[in-house]
Amino acid sequence: MGRLGTFLIILAATLIDDWLPGWIPVNRLPISHFWQVLIIRTIMTTLALLAMKLFYPNSLRRLTQEPSFLRFCIATGLIAYLVLPTLISSNISSYGPIHIAEGIIFALFIGINEEFFSRGFIYATLERYGVAVASIISSLHFGLLHFGNLFWGGQSFSYTLGQVIDAGTFGYLCVGLMLYTGNIWFPIVLHGLNDTAMQFEGVARYTKEVTGRADWLGNIALTVVYCAAGWLLIQLSQANSADRIKIWFQTAFMK
């Protein structure tokens, strides 16, 4: 399959991922919005897994591959460092245990769905072109998917553009985390927990935030962190022990 075939597969998958959820009539079911979203996310995740199995069965190894103890600890520490401050400073303490559990589950299903599609299927589609190409293009694709929020998410252009940049660089970090651990569940956990805090924002505050201007200073800071961490993890995932030490010193002390 050439570049045109790759492009057509990604285009078709993107159209299905964008439009199919709107055609699933879960809103007719006598259940809450929470369960409606979980059903849709489960269906889309299942489709992504089936596509991976059909087109790129080798990518399924990332569902079960176990990282070394050191990589497990480093990945877990990085996830905690990135998400705990936001969770602690959020409004989560104002809610009861049931609402907190629902918020976490809701966010984790978003992470599962989006990671299996972007880091699972889209990355696997591009993997034949090398790690660098697959990492960058799949991350750009993930970021651009958020442009749809400008049209049906009620967001301002400034906020949406900032979200696209933030999502793209966050996707690059998730690629690095997946490659470093060899396991897609680590970026899923990071993604889910990263989205958890917004589940506890009030409607008024959330509306004001997404219809206003982007926090460009914060976006730039996150972009640097995500890109640096993602790049380092990708490099470490391809090196042996001696090379990892060399890469660390080069990253820390050389411009």
pLDDT digits (tens, 9 = 90+) for 221-240: 999 999 999 999 999 998 76
Give pLDDT, residue 206: 81
Range with the poorest average pLDDT among 31-35, 177-181, 221-225, 251-255: 251-255
- Angstrom CA distances, 128 to 3, 58, 122, 144, 188, stand at 10, 12, 11, 22, 23
pLDDT per residue as tens digits for the range 180-201: 999 999 999 999 999 999 998 8
Whole-number pLDDT of residue 191: 98
The alpha carbon dihedral of 187, 193, 197, 199 has a sign of: positive
CA dihedral 214, 199, 145, 26 (to 10 degrees): -140
Residues 56, 69: Cα–Cα separation, whole Å: 28
Distance CA(105)–CA(196), nearest Å, equals 9
CA distances from 191 to 72, 196, 239 (A): 17, 9, 26
Q: What is the pLDDT of residue 207?
A: 84
Percent of the chain scoring above 90 in pLDDT: 78
Contact 52, 60 (CB under 8 A): yes
Q: Given this model, what pLDDT does residue 253 score?
A: 66
What 8-state DSSP symbol labels residue 240? -
pLDDT band at 24; cut points 50, 70, 90: very high
Inter-axis angle of helices 185-196 and 69-89, to 10 degrees? 10
> What pTM was estimated for this model as a whole?
0.92
Q: What's the chain's average pLDDT?
A: 92
Q: What is the mean pLDDT of residues 200-214?
A: 85
Please give the average per-residue pLDDT across 11-25, as a whole number. Answer: 93
Nearest of 172, 163, 174, 179 to residue 219 by alpha carbon:
163
Q: Give the pLDDT band of residue 83 (cuts 50, 70, 90).
A: very high
pLDDT in tens, 94-150: 899 999 999 999 999 999 999 999 999 999 999 999 999 999 999 999 999 999 888
Could you give the 3-state DSSP secondary structure of residue 44?
A: helix
Q: Whole-angstrom Cα distance, residue 243 to residue 255?
A: 18
Taking the CA atoms of 88, 77, 140 and 119 in sequence, report the sign of the dihedral they define.
negative
Which range (2-11, 56-65, 174-183, 207-216) has the least confidence?
207-216
CA angle 184, 124, 24 (to 5 degrees): 80
